[in-house]
Amino acid sequence: MGFADAVPTLEATTPEDEAFREFVAAHRVSSETSRHFDVCDHRRLETALDLSLFAERPFADGGAEENLRTWMRLRDLALRVLPRGTNCAIRPFDAAYHMRPEARWRPEVELVIEIRPADEGLGLEVVDDRTRRTATEILRALDGFGVARGTWRDTMRRKP
C-alpha cells in the first residue's frame, strides 16, 4: 500500500455543506455588516464589527419554535465559517421578527456575530486591520454557501 492509498481523499464539499447551501437558498439567507461602538471616557470607540445573518421566515409558519430552529441553523452555519481562534460572540436568540426595508419588509430571523479584535490585555480593544480581514474572510466563506451580501435578489437563486 502506497502513501496515496493511506491518505484519505478529502471531499471538496461535504453532505453537511450541501445541506447548508439548501438551507441558504430555501430561507434566502443574506448578510450585513455594521460597526459596533462602545463609549469609554466620553469617547466613541469602534470595538467590534457586527455581522448579521438574516433568514426569511413566513409569518405564522411554525411560530417561535420554528424561528428558534432557523436561528440554530444560522448559528451552525456561522460556526462552520468562523476561522479558528476568532475572537467573537454570537448574540442570543431574539424571538422577534426583524424586518428591513431593504428586504421589502419580509419577516426575518436574525443572528448577530460580534467580531472583536484580539485581546491584547489593554482593556477595551479597538477594531484593527486584522479584525477587518477576519470579517472579510468570514464573508468570503459565506459566499461559498450562497449567502447574499446585503439582501437576497431573485437573480441570485441557485440554478438546478
- pLDDT per residue, tens digit, the chain (160 aa), is 443 443 333 345 688 899 999 999 999 999 999 888 888 888 888 888 999 999 998 766 668 888 999 999 999 999 999 999 899 999 999 888 888 888 788 889 999 999 988 876 666 788 888 899 999 999 999 999 999 988 765 434 444 4
pLDDT at 23: 95
Rounded to two decimals, the pTM is 0.80
Q: Look-up: residue for cell 436574525?
A: 110
**Cα separations in angstroms, 79 against 83, 100, 112, 118:** 9, 25, 12, 18
The set of cell numbers assigned to 38 is: 462602545
Check if the beta carbon of residue 73 is closer than 8 Å to that of residue 111.
no
Helix/strand/coil for 15: helix
**Residue indicated by cell numbers 490585555:** 121
Q: Are 34 and 101 in contact (CB under 8 A)?
A: no
pLDDT of res. 104? 81
The span from the CA of 118 to the CA of 102, in Å, is: 32
Handedness of CA 124, 149, 18, 111 (dihedral sign): positive
How many Å apart are CA 155 and CA 140, to the nearest integer?
A: 19
> What are 48's three cell numbers?
467590534
